[in-house]
Amino acid sequence: MYTQDIRLVVFDWDGTLADTTAAIVFTMQSAITECEFERRDDISIRKIIGLGLEEAARQLYPELSRDDHLLLNQVYRRLYVEQNRGNIRLFPGVKELLDRLLQAGMLLAIATGKSRRGLDNSLNETGLNSCFHASRCADETLSKPHPLMLLEIMKELSVKPENTLMVGDSDHDMQLAENAGVYAIAVSYGAQKIPDLLKYEPVACLQCPNQLLSWLEGMLE
């Protein structure tokens, strides 16, 4: 049962704080084309957003070898930097949301399928480095939906699951929260839509960043 005794809010990055879903889909399609692999539709690619690249490649192409997966990942990383350097956009109101939570004394963290290098580049580019007390990336722990990301963050910040809230835009985020025993808020403006998210019974499912700010501000009252 949800209570308002939340001390730690953990955010997914892509599709939750950063408006990157379209860029990820386009880059993956470009990488697939360059690797000359069988085409995958955009919906299939949206469904792997949030996973680590190794897990994403295996889900998209379970029939291919590990060498093929590594090739796809290498090409994707190169193309993402080439195509998106300097173009990372936050959703409207994200900076205000984070500032409001910090002013209220909330601990903030990120749990993401990005690599450490990718997240650090994104934080530098958007100027959000100082907003987060902890973060975990897919290349330094186990990928979503395994709970280790959240468990490590909670241990580092000395916060219990019942005092932790996960905010994300994918079923991987909802499963991560469920597996770690923490509360979850789903946002439907990123990679996946409401029906895919509601089956995990988040405490709220919000349709725009402003609704997220309003909901969290209500939690602080």
In DSSP notation, 29-98 reads HHHHHHHTPPP--HHHHHHHBTB-HHHHHHHH-TTS-HHHHHHHHHHHHHHHHHHHTT---BPTTHHHHH
Indicate where the chain has its CATH 3.40.50.1000 domain(s).
8-20+89-220
Using DSSP's 3-state secondary structure scheme, residue 135 falls into strand
Superfamily (CATH H level) for 8-20+89-220: HAD superfamily/HAD-like (3.40.50.1000)
Q: pLDDT for 86-98, tens place per residue?
A: 778 899 889 988 9
Cα–Cα distance measured from residue 103 to residue 99, given in angstroms and rounded to the nearest whole number: 6
* Portion of the chain with pLDDT greater than 70, in percent: 96
Backbone angles phi, psi at 47, to 5 degrees: -70, -20
Global pTM value: 0.87
**pLDDT score, position 183:** 95
**pLDDT score, position 146:** 94
**pLDDT score, position 3:** 52
What parts of the chain have a pLDDT lower than 50? 1-2
Q: Residue 187 is encoded by which pair of tokens?
A: 């946002």
Q: Residue 17 is encoded by which pair of tokens?
A: 């704080």
Rounded to a whole number, what is the largest CA-CA distance in the chain?
54
Cα–Cα distance measured from residue 88 to residue 219, given in angstroms and rounded to the nearest whole number: 29
**Mean pLDDT for the chain?**
89
**pLDDT score, position 4:** 65
* Torsional class of 186: left (φ above 0), alpha (ψ -120 to 50), beta (otherwise): beta
**pLDDT score, position 1:** 40
Q: Which fold has domain 21-84?
A: DNA polymerase; domain 1 (1.10.150)
Burial class of residue 112 (count of CB atoms within 10 Å of its CB; 0-12, 13-18, 19+) = buried
* Short-list 214, 169, 145, CA closest to 46: 169
